[in-house]
Structure 1
Amino acid sequence: MLTRILMLGLTVGLIAAAQAVELTEEQRAAIEARIAPVGEVCLQGETCGGVPSAMGAMSAGGDAMAAIDGEATYNTACLACHASGAAGAPIVGNAESWAPRIAKGIDELYNSGINGIAGSGMMAKGGRADLSDEAVMAAVDYMVENSQ
């Protein structure tokens, strides 16, 4: 009796396994979409999504800022707040909201981006600790250039 139960269980298991393999291309694509990675992890010194992580900002010629795409950094780290005004963030392109900030000077804007602003929603490096200071500065430059 026990042998028959085990055989029946094994048979059911094999049938289920065989059916799982017989998927249409559409079904396989749907499964792949559901289990696809939602992000990536960058190690120090690597570049992910066009944005250098800390210590990875230097180009072959040694010019850190030339190797950094401020717009790419903005798009990956700053856009959520600076396109919507979340937590009081000045919206890129709104010269009126940026004017008093720009008047404080670029060094103050860099400091705010790199270190955050206490008592506000502005986190250090926009919450992206993996970003180099140079990448944040390039993003600040991009936002200022597009908000004057």
Structure 2
Amino acid sequence: MAVLAVVASVWVFALPPGTTEEISQRIDPFGSVSRVGDAGGAPVSSASAEPLSGQQVYDQFCFACHAGGIGGAPTFGDTAQWAERVDQGMDVLMDHTINGIRTMPAKGTCMNCSDDELNAAVTYILDNLP
């Protein structure tokens, strides 16, 4: 009986103070997480949104790898590294840009970029070869 009294007293003191509603309010999350495209989050795109320029796409997405040659990416402005790729033609470059190749992910991680925006980025890179 003494053991039962001890267990009962521990159980009574283990309950947090307050009503069920007060307890629920205290343990509710402070905020919420919203990802781009979720309801209430930043819009992925809208009909009135201007397309990104080639430089904007490069600066936001391509730069991460192509500025320093990460993962074997040809470096921005290095004609020798781009020569073989340029020789394959724009159709092949765009196929690799859209679908990915080796360590380059599809669309260079710009999943919301249109093919035209990606084409503008590739053109921007090629136009900046010496």
**Same fold flag (TM > 0.5):** yes
- The TM-score with structure 2 as length reference comes to 0.62
Cα pair distance change 1:89/1:142, threshold 3 Å: same
Q: Distance in 1 between matches of 2:42 and 2:108?
A: 17
Distance in 2 of aligned mates of 1:115 and 1:41: 26
Q: 1:41 and 1:86, CA in 2 relative to 1: closer, same or farther beyond 3 A?
A: farther
In structure 2, what is the equivalent of residue 15 of structure 1? none
RMSD: 2.0
Taking only the aligned residue pairs, the percentage that are identical comes to 38
SS of 1:84's equivalent? coil
Q: Work out which of the two has the higher radius of gyration on C-alpha atoms and give 1 or 2.
A: 2
Map 1:20-35 onto structure 2 (within 5 A): none
1:45 Cα deviation (Å)? 3.0
Runs ≥4 residues deviating over 6 A: none
Question: Which runs of 5 or more structure 1 residues have no equivalent in the other structure?
Answer: 1-38, 53-67
Aligned to 1:101: 85
> Cα distance 1:103–1:131, how it changes in 2: closer, same or farther (>3 A)?
same
Aligned position for 1:25: none
Pairing 1:45–2:46 present: yes
**Counterpart contact for 1:69–1:138, Cα < 8 Å:** yes
The answer for unaligned runs of 5 or more in structure 2 is 1-35
Instruction: Write out aligned runs for 1:1-148 (5 A).
Output: 41-45=42-46, 47=49, 52=51, 68-117=52-101, 120-148=102-130
